[in-house]
Amino acid sequence: MCQSEPSLLDPILLRPLLGSYAGRFDVDALAVCDSTSSELLRRVDAGAPSGTVVVADRQTAGRGRRGRSWLSAPADSLTFSLLWRFPGTPLELSGLSLVVGVALARALAALGARGVGLKWPNDILLRRTGEFAKLAGILIEMASDRRGTQAVIGIGLNLWAPAGELGQAAAGLADALAAGEPPERHAVLAALLLELVRVLDAFTVDGFAGQKSEWQRWHAWQDEPVRVVEDGRELLAGTCIGADTDGSLLVRSERGVERVLAGDVSLRHA
Ligand code: ATP
Chain segment 220-232, per-residue pLDDT in tens: 999 999 999 998 8
123 lines ligand 1 (CB under 6 A): yes
Which of 110, 80, 89, 90 has its CA nearest to residue 198? 110
pLDDT over threshold 70, residue 19: yes
158 lines ligand 1 (CB under 6 A): yes
Ligand 1 centroid from CA 179, angstroms: 26
pTM of the model: 0.96
59 lines ligand 1 (CB under 6 A): no
Reported residue count of the chain is: 270
pLDDT over threshold 90, residue 103: yes
Say if residues 29 and 55 touch (Cβ distance below 8 Å).
yes
Q: Is 228 exposed, middle or buried (0-12, 13-18, 19+ CB in 10 A)?
A: buried
> Residue 222's pLDDT is what?
95
Q: Residue-wise over 29-62: b if at least 16 C-beta within 10 A, else e?
A: bbbbbbbbbbbbbebbeeebebbbbbbbbbbeeb
Average pLDDT of the chain? 94
- The pLDDT tens digits of the residues spanning 110-132 come to 999 999 999 999 999 999 887 89
Best residue among 60, 158, 168 to mutate for probing ligand 1's pocket (most ligand atoms within 8 Å of CB) is 168
Residue 243 vs residue 145, higher pLDDT: 243
Best residue among 68, 138, 165, 234 to mutate for probing ligand 1's pocket (most ligand atoms within 8 Å of CB) is 68
Catalytic residue list: 65, 134, 268
72 lines ligand 1 (CB under 6 A): yes
Residue 164 vs residue 60, higher pLDDT: 60
For ligand 1, atom 1, name the residue with the nearest CA. Answer: 266
pLDDT over threshold 90, residue 3: no
Mean pLDDT of 88-113: 95
Residue 262's pLDDT band (boundaries 50, 70, 90)? confident
Residue 164's pLDDT band (boundaries 50, 70, 90)? confident
- CA 27 to CA 144: how far, in whole Å? 22
